[in-house]
Structure formats: C-alpha cells, structure tokens
A and B are shown apart, each in its own frame.
Chain A
Amino acid sequence: MNDIKEYIPFVGRAVIDDLGLLSDRLKGKVVQNINSTSVGGGVAEILNRMIPLLKQLGVDARWDVIKGGGDFFEVTKKFHNALHGTAAGLTARDFEIFMETSSRNIAQMDIYGDIVFVHDPQPIALVERNSGNKWVWRCHVDVSAPEKGVWDFLMRFIPRFDAAVFSAPAFSRQLSVRQFLIAPSIDPLSDKNRELPQEAITAVLRKYGIPEDKPIVTQISRFDRLKDPQGVIDAFLMVKKHIDCRLILAGGGASDDPEGMQVLEEVREKARKYEDIHVLLLPQNDLEVNALQRASTVIVQKSLREGFGLTVSEALWKGKPVVASNVGGIPLQITHKYSGLLCHSVEGAAFAIKQLLNSPEYARKLGANGREHVRNNFLLTRHLKEYLLLFLSLYHPEDICYL
C-alpha cells in the first residue's frame, strides 16, 4: 500500500495538502462503496487503491461486496455486453434472475453509509434501500450506445439515486438526477507506470527478440477487433514504405477469451511474412508493458471503440508521442496537435505516425505536453480529489459552493 505522501514528487505538496482541505469537510461521514467483486476487474483494482488512500486522508471509506451465484453473473455479463451495444440475447428470465439475486441482497446487505457509492450495474437495485441518505451510481461502462432493453431496465433504478457518474461526456444522456464526469486515472507508482532503468527496458526487448536498431511503433491492447490490430498493421505497412521501423503489437488476457485467441491468430497470420512486426501475447505482466512502452518511439491506440483507453495516458505519462483514434475517452486525453495526434482512419493513422517519426522534435514536444496533461488531469490524485468533490456535491446542490 502506498503512502499518500509518496505522490508529492509527482504532483507537488500543494495538491496533497488540498486533498486534506477537502477531506476535512467530510469528517463524520461514512462512505460505503458497494460492488460485485473484491478481486479481479477494473473496479476492484480502483477500489483497492482508493479506499486505503481515502482512509489515510481521514475519510471513513469502507467497501462491501454483494453476493451472487454463477447464473447472476452470467446475466450481468450479458448486461455488460448489451450496455456496450452488443446484441446480448437477454431474455425475460435473465431479468428475473437479476431481480431474484438483487432482492436477496436488498434484504440482507447492511446499509450503513451516509454516502452509498454503488459501482456498475450489478448492485444497482440496492437503491431500493435509499432511506434519505445519499446514493451515487458510478457507471464504469461505455454506455454511449446501449441496447435499449437493458438501459430501460436500469432506468427503473437510476432516477432513485442522488447522482450518477460517467467516465466520458459521450456516455451521458438527459437524466433526472445530477450526473458528473469523472475520468479514471493511472497510478504513477504502479509497476505499469513507474520509472524503469534502461537495463530493464533492454532486457525485455532482448527477451522478446526485438533489436533496438530502428524506431519502434507500438500498440498495447487486448487482441480484440475493437482495438483494430489489423488496421494498425495496415497503417504500419504504409509507413514502412517510407521509413524503416518496427511494429510491436502486444497484449495479454486473451487466453480465457475464445474470440481473443481467434483475433490473435488472425493477427499472427497477417504479420507472419514481415520480420519487423512483433506480435506478443504477454502474460499479465505490468512491468513488461511498462518497458515496451518506454522502448517505443511512437505509441498507437487505433481503437474503433473505447471505454476510456487508459493506455493512452500510460503512454503520455512516459513522455511518448501518441497517435490514437478520436473515440470514447481518448479525446479527453489527447488534444489534437497539442498533446498527441488524433486519427479517424488507417490512412490518417499512417500519416500521423510518419509525421512523428520524421519530426522527432515535434514528437518530443507533443510527448512532453502529453506528460504534463496527464500530470494535471489523469493521475490518481486528481481522481481522489474529484471523488471528494463528488461526495461534497451531494450536500451542495448549487453551481458555486462555499465550503
């Protein structure tokens, strides 16, 4: 567990002092976080980092987990896909299963928070227990184009919260409750983002047989069609006609995903005849991802859809110039031509990569701006500050609040 003071070298003492100023205003309030799992998944990862830091700041933050069986979580997985706009085949029975488990949790869960912070759709029905305390629904999912049936179902609960939180503006819609934009964040002290000595970076390149003889273009992401790895190869081949360089496509977590394995095979097949394309199936190894990002000349995130795309912030934090699609939360992280280059097509990505490889000074400037942008807006300390403000906003409905 990190000490909050360890973040001072990255953001300055004043930012940490400010967190103290805000948390002082929450003295006496209990913040009860509720989600569906204590291990695995992005939400548990965030809570595992946030709860201890909130406690260090003097906020009485606690964390409870709902109970559910395999059938419930199969249904909520379908919810997740349907919220992403994928046809999930939800049936009336699925909604019954959801409500049966929810009813048990509604009856059994100890609700004690002054503020009840419900994460994602799985525990959403608990809001039935709203008895005048403050309830917030934190949606971590891309709901820009959800399947209507599942969204309509969630809308039975959302208006009963005091506020909702989304990660990107495109996920918002007109609701009867206040809704806030709180982007996720990266942790500068984590294995994925901490500074690495050059020897560690070189060792990872050696391990995967990648020579350091030419510029390296990299995309780090799961092998998923929505990350468009085929499009990245097409863009790379356009660049390669003019500039000699290498491409790394690296990602993990595909082994338990049948479609992921199929996409990986297709990518390997396409890359087979080009010795400068390195397709790496990484185990869950944050240090290696960190090293590959730091070894890169340009980093690409050519997603077709993206929840938030924190790999962009990871790359920018390492001072790397980034070419990324203008989708999901990416435009929050990259302002075109200021902190990176946005693209809309394979051709656009190729053109942007060429620009950066041919203009190292411009690339360096974009990377440096990107790092500052992440320092100001996408580090864990900003995330903590906005959660504190969110909790305070529940007691202050006005646009300008004097604390």
Chain B
Amino acid sequence: MTAAPFRFFTRFNLTELTGLKAADLDQLLQLLTEVPGACIYHHTHRFLQQHQYLSPEPPNDFAYWITQILGERELGERLASIDIVSFVRIRDLRNEIIRTIRDYLEEYPKAHARFSSPGEEFYFMKSVSFVLPTGYAAKDLREFRAILSRITFDSLYFHVFEARLRLENGSNDFSVWFESMGETKLAGAFTRLDPYTSTMEQLRGTMLKILDNQD
C-alpha cells in the first residue's frame, strides 16, 4: 500500500505561569475543574520531560505534591498509578484525577485538614508547545528506522506523547502512519507500548527492536 511519507516534527516547550495556587486538597480540586487542559497536560507530563533519563521517573506533579507536601501517601500512590496511556483526551484524564481525589476525600475526610506551608503550595502552570518540521521524511520502513534512530528526544516525544494525548490523535503518530501503510501488526505493537514507564532512550530502543524483529 502506498502512503504519504512520514514527516518528522519536533516540539519545544515553554512553561506559562497562571498565578493560581492551592494549599489544600479542596483548593486543588476546585482549581482542577477550572484550569485549562494545558495545565493538566503540563502537570502530568512535566516530570517525564524533565527526567527523561530516569526510570522509573518521578510521578506526576499532583501525586508528588500530595505525597511529599501534604503527606497523603496513599492518595499520592493512587494518582501516580493512573494509567495515562489509557486516556486519549485531556478532559478524561482531568476527570479521572478529580474522581480519584474526591473518592479519597470521601473515604478519608480527615485529609480535608491537610495543608501546605507558605511557599509550598501547588502552583498551576501550563505548557505552551512550539511545533516545527525537522526536515526528515520517511517513504518506507527502512528510511523510517534510520531516521527514528537519530531524531531528538523532543521529536520522539512529540510523536508519541504530545500527538496522542494533547492533539488527541487517538494513538501515537507512528502507529497511525503504519496503519495507513497496511502495517496493522506493527501499528498494534507500537500502540501497546507504555511509554510512561521507560526512559526516552529505552523507548527508542524498544521501537527499533520491534522494527527489526517484524516478519
């Protein structure tokens, strides 16, 4: 099957401050319902971008703050365990975070009383993304493999994380392209990967191995 070449893009991120902050779980919940989706995206992906060399990487910002600052370890663990890869829309991920905190507060009402010291509040921020073409394009799997092996983490990040959840493309860009080429099995193998539990270099290595091992 002939498909359009896969054009590799990259993306850069700038952090925008909102001036909004929460000192306890009730304030956090309230703001979680109000802030833009770009905030939810930022706080569930910041650690991943900043700690791309670590596996396992630290959890999302909500889980980290609730564990380290409020001392609610169980809620922190529940939030860290949210399977982000199973969400294809930010609003669904937002709802899951809100539901998890609400359920916990119903179960443990004393958690309402936990608060942070001044200066340790949760500061809401959002990601501003700048997307650029890299100039690389692959016409077939052989070219695709060669380019994948040398693109930057930012480019890999864009096609795997940002395109799937932030641009709500439903799957990672690579799988979508494989599908368009009739490479259904390969598309499925890439879709099944959980990119949230490996470093970017490990993720690239796994992808290259899948490409090398296909029949």
Contact = CB atoms under 8 A, between A and B. Distances in A.
A399 B125 CA distance: 12
23 contacts: A18-B152, A169-B123, A172-B17, A173-B19, A180-B128, A181-B16, A326-B120, A335-B58, A335-B64, A336-B68, A338-B51, A338-B54, A372-B53, A372-B54, A376-B53, A389-B13, A393-B14, A399-B126, A399-B127, A399-B128, A401-B131, A402-B131, A403-B132
Interface in A327-371: 327-328, 335-336, 338-339, 342, 344, 369
B50 interface: yes
A58 to B, nearest CB: 16
B26 interface: no
Contact of A181 (B120, B125, B129): B125
A234 to B, nearest CB: 21
Contacts of B12: 18, 22, 385, 389
Interface residues of A, number: 45
- Where chain A touches its partner, the secondary structure class is mixed
B38 A399 contact: yes
A373 B50 contact: yes
Contacts of A389: 12-14, 128, 130
| Interface hub of B16, B20, B38, B154 (most chain A Cβ within 10 A) | B16
Nearest to B37: A399
A178 B53 CA distance: 31
Contact of B167 (A338, A390, A400): A400
B104 to A, nearest CB: 22
B109 interface: no
B15 interface: yes
B17 A179 contact: yes
A355 to B, nearest CB: 16
Contacts of A14: 152
A101 B131 CA distance: 43
Interface in B69-120: 117-120
B14 A403 contact: no
A98 interface: no
B204 interface: no
A326 B120 CA distance: 8
Nearest to A12: B152
B19 A179 contact: yes
B19 A338 contact: no
A376 B36 contact: no
A396 interface: yes
A369 B51 CA distance: 9
